[in-house]
Amino acid sequence: MRTTTNLPWLESTRLRGTVERLLGECDVQIDGNRPWDVRVYNDAFYARILAHGSLGFGESYMDRWWDVRDLEELIYRLLKDRLDERVRTWRDFVAYCTARMFNLQRRSRAFLVGQHHYDIGNDLYECMLDRRMIYSCGYWESATTLEEAQRAKLELVFRKLALQPGQRVLDVGCGWGGALQLAAEEYRVEGTGITVSGEQAEYARRRCEGLPIAIRLQDYRDVRGQFDHIYSIGMFEHVGPKNYRTYMETMRRCLVPHGRFLLHTIGANRPSSANDAWIERYIFPNSRIPTRVQVSKAISGLFKVIGWQCIGRHYVRTLREWRRNFEQHWPTLKAARDERFYRMWHFYLNASAATFRAEKNDVWQVLLEPIMH
């Protein structure tokens, strides 16, 4: 049932016309019949997205002001034609200024993303991810299942590092411990993992019990010790541009002279001035996707690049598998969550897949060795 707005009829008609024109440029129609066409249930939708941009777009979906049969395809079309870059609001300007003036990823805020995103129930991630609970892009070159793709990704990382029995390895952003478990069991290394999520740390300790692995609830800036190799999978997105150099200096300090560091991170093909407003509020507070220039500047004089592999195309299938698992297990998960959470998470997984389809972002595996002075 459509809900009408309190705006004057002419104003409401004008706003709808503006939105129809913008969507039409992406071959999207209001109340059309194609899977990616938008069905609007609340006429206040038009004013909301024009005033609040991506935040209003995502929130109004969560509130069921509009719907669509193929959400991923819709968002892909908007991103492909860069509609997100053409619709800017005062909130975007404030976010840009805030990010420029303040270190939003400073030490005192390091644990915020852990509490907001990762500490929301291990049952969610157990249902959505593979059995090792690897929460990053899989590697589908020869894989046919999510399980195989995540194992292939970890083996790709470990081959690049050339892990040997008895070596000491640091996992920066160790998640639920699945990568360290595989490294210890099959490569016979000793491992240390750090995370800013309390629930992840407890889960990883249970998973790795009996193995030569230590799990620490710790910010990367506080890491001490020397390691033969270091890897970080899907954590650099939380470091922030003002801390990239400090992060790389920390990795260099903790790495033995002839060791290797593997950085696996989402990377921006289109630099942005600030985090997406909806992602910032509901999914990953204080996150920023790095650019090639930023990574290169951060490692300058510290590391040399041995390899730089782009695997972003593999993330689309990974995200679709997570979405399928989430939807399949929703009848169980909804006992502790409401419909708005379902629509929020559904929007997040579909929008993320669309982002990689549109090649707005990529995934990089950057293999580094220290520069010997």
DSSP output for 84-140? HHH---HHHHHHHHHHHHS-TT-GGGTTHHIIIIISS-HHHHHHHS-TT---S----
How far is the first Cα of the chain from the last one, in angstroms, to the nearest whole number?
Answer: 69
Kindly state whether residues 196 and 274 are assigned to the same domain.
yes
Number of domains into which the chain is organized: 2
In 10 A of CB 142, how many CB atoms? Answer: 8
Q: Residues 25, 128: one domain?
A: no
Give me the count of residues in the chain: 373
The rounded distance, in Å, linking the Cα atoms of 230 and 240 is 19
Q: Which residues contact 228 (CB under 8 A, 6 or more apart)?
A: 164, 167, 168, 169, 256, 259
Cross-strand pairs, 260: 229
Per residue of the chain (373 residues), give pLDDT as tens: 566 555 555 567 889 999 999 999 999 999 999 999 999 999 999 999 998 999 999 999 999 999 999 999 999 999 999 887 766 543 443 333 334 444 455 444 555 656 768 888 999 999 999 999 999 999 999 999 999 999 999 999 999 999 999 999 999 999 999 999 999 999 999 999 999 999 999 999 999 999 999 999 999 999 999 999 999 999 999 998 899 999 999 999 999 999 999 999 999 998 776 678 899 899 988 888 999 999 999 999 999 999 999 999 999 999 999 999 999 999 999 999 999 999 999 999 999 999 999 999 999 999 999 998 7
192/177 Cα distance (integer angstroms): 10
Same domain assignment for residues 31 and 112: no
Do 46 and 131 have their domain in common? Answer: no
Q: Does 100 fall in a domain?
A: no
Q: Is the dihedral of CA 44, 48, 54, 55 positive or negative?
A: negative
In this structure, are 122 and 235 located in the same domain?
yes
226 within domain boundaries: yes
In a domain, 1, yes or no: no
Instruction: Give the whole-angstrom CA distance, residue 242 versus residue 100.
Output: 9
| Burial grade of 85 (CB within 10 A; 0-12, 13-18, 19 or more) | exposed
Last residue of a domain, one of 87, 119, 153: 87
**Are residue 171 and residue 307 in the same domain, yes or no?**
yes
Residue 42 has phi, psi (to 5 degrees) of: -135, 120
Cα 123 from Cα 337, distance rounded (Å): 11
Tokens of 277: 């407003």
Which of 31, 57, 87 lies at the terminal end of a domain, its last residue? 87
Residue environment code for 166-181, b if the CB has 16+ CB neighbours within 10 A, otherwise e:
ebbbbbbbbbbbbbbb
Same domain assignment for residues 79 and 136: no
My answer on whether 14 and 163 are in the same domain is no
**Domain-embedded: residue 65:** yes
* Angle CA 212–217–218, to nearest 5: 105
Task: Tell whether 155 and 23 lie within a shared domain.
Answer: no
pTM of the model: 0.90
Q: Is residue 26 part of a domain?
A: yes
Domain that holds residue 143: 108-370
* Domain co-membership, 55 together with 127: no
Query: Would you say residue 92 lies in a domain?
Result: no
Residues 47 and 135 both lie in one domain: no
Assess if residue 3 is contained within a domain.
Answer: no
Cα 315 to Cα 72: distance, rounded to the nearest angstrom:
13
Residue 11 CA to residue 33 CA, distance in Å, equals 26
62 & 185 share domain = no
- Residue 101 inside a domain? The answer is no
